[in-house]
Structure 1
């Protein structure tokens, strides 16, 4: 294998033995390398197949900015998850989980904790993924000396659930896709703006809405409520909350599901992120 382009000291573009473009990752893989140089295959830790240009570009942007040891930990977690679950995970999890864990580690270092209001539901309905999330916290602690809170095990579990959605029924997948697109349209029309589909916040929004749609279609409702936080949110994010109310009315009319206050909080926060300039 030969270098096509050096992204950074640990990441290069190349082609595999079948002529497919791939991203090769490994400690020092791109150090002092130029286009056309041979790649030391013994240094390769991970190959990402470049099937989708947009996803590949998004992955490159993320991997350029994230510490290499965070990427290595994420790869170890994903490999463990695939072996434990015994099923295929969507390759997009390399983007979503790498970004999430890096963000979580930064938040932890700055003393910022985020409560996972879905933790009880995750333990009950996605126990296997939750247990993998607990093991992921141990991996992070062993490799980086950072002990993240249990809430993060739940967030990791959500990424695994979303990454395995290819295995749900075709009808439910179709219904979910329709619901997600309709919610996106509500946000676009409410704010009269196009959303940046290549932004990190958009990726996070879609991840949340996918899981939200799955809960609506399965009848799983978040029951935990934080009335004080909701009152503050209504004051500080009036326009975003008004948009969330439109989503609530749509879900009630189309699916007969009445959203709880916690669902309203989570949607409002994500809408605030993707519509902020």
Structure 2
């Protein structure tokens, strides 16, 4: 395999003869490696394949932003679910779960707790996924110094549900791609600058939109009733909230259905993150 890009000492983008572009992880795999060199395959621990037309650079940046121990934890934990779902769990699911667990662990250390009022609904609609998710959370907690709340199983269950919606229908993928492009146009008009779609936060935004499409397609948008959280976020990020309302208008027009308040809240959070990236890049470009 040939190195195409080095993200950090432990993550590289490479070209495999049988699978095309892949993300490889392993301790020291990227140390002093350069594009064009052959991968030291003895150091490769995990291989992630960008599926569904995902941009390999964006996907690799997201993998590189997750602590290696959290990637390993998610991959090991998902072994519990692999035999119980209809289809195979792909790299996208592993990375999405790792990103979620990493953020949940960070919240735990900061003393932040998020309630999941959807537990009753998830238990009713997806009992098998919730059962597997509870096993996954138990597996993770057995390896942490401080245990995650049991309700994290609700969010994990939704990741498992989303993993089962890979229909292979390209027309839906094409629709999503067109909407993504339109949403970035709205963002760039709102902020008067181009957004770097190679950033980790842009990759997270796109991942969130993919899951949003699944939820909208199945009539199960986020509706946790987190009005207090939504109000706090809107007050903290008024500019991002105004932009999120513009994104909401586009999505409602393209999908033919209204967005819930919670979906708009999460859009606001993602816009705020990307706006921070934009400000950082502007400051870096401004001569001192």
Q: Which category describes the TM-score, using the shorter chain as reference length? A: 0.7 to 0.9
Paired residue for 2:262? 262
Aligned partners of 1:255 and 1:270: how far apart in 2? 20
Paired residue for 1:136? 136
Aligned partners of 1:174 and 1:50: how far apart in 2? 17
Q: Give the superposition deviation at 1:50.
A: 8.1
Structure 2 residue runs of 5 or longer lacking an equivalent are 280-288
* Equivalence map 1:84-99=2 (5 Å): 84-99=84-99
Aligned partners of 2:264 and 2:103: how far apart in 1? 23
* Equivalence map 1:209-248=2 (5 Å): 209-248=209-248
Preserved CA contact (<8 Å) 2:224 2:262? yes
TM-score normalised over the length of structure 2: 0.71
Q: Give the superposition deviation at 1:148.
A: 1.1
- Secondary structure of the 2:148 match is coil
1:61 equivalent to 2:64? Answer yes
Aligned partners of 1:22 and 1:275: how far apart in 2? 29
TM-score normalised over the length of structure 1: 0.73
Aligned partners of 1:147 and 1:36: how far apart in 2? 41
Aligned partners of 2:58 and 2:114: how far apart in 1? 27
Q: Relative to structure 1, is the Cα distance of residues 183 and 56 closer, same or farther in structure 2, using a 3 angstrom cutoff?
A: closer
Aligned partners of 1:107 and 1:185: how far apart in 2? 32
Aligned partners of 1:15 and 1:170: how far apart in 2? 24
Alignment: residue pair count: 270
Aligned partners of 1:249 and 1:20: how far apart in 2? 38
Preserved CA contact (<8 Å) 2:22 2:56? no
Aligned partners of 2:229 and 2:182: how far apart in 1? 27
Paired residue for 2:154? 154
- For residues 21-63 of structure 1, give each alpha carbon's deviation from its aligned partner in whole angstroms, at most 9, with x where no partner exists: 866656x786x999989866xx875344589641564266236
Q: Give the superposition deviation at 1:237.
A: 2.0
- Secondary structure of the 1:144 match is coil
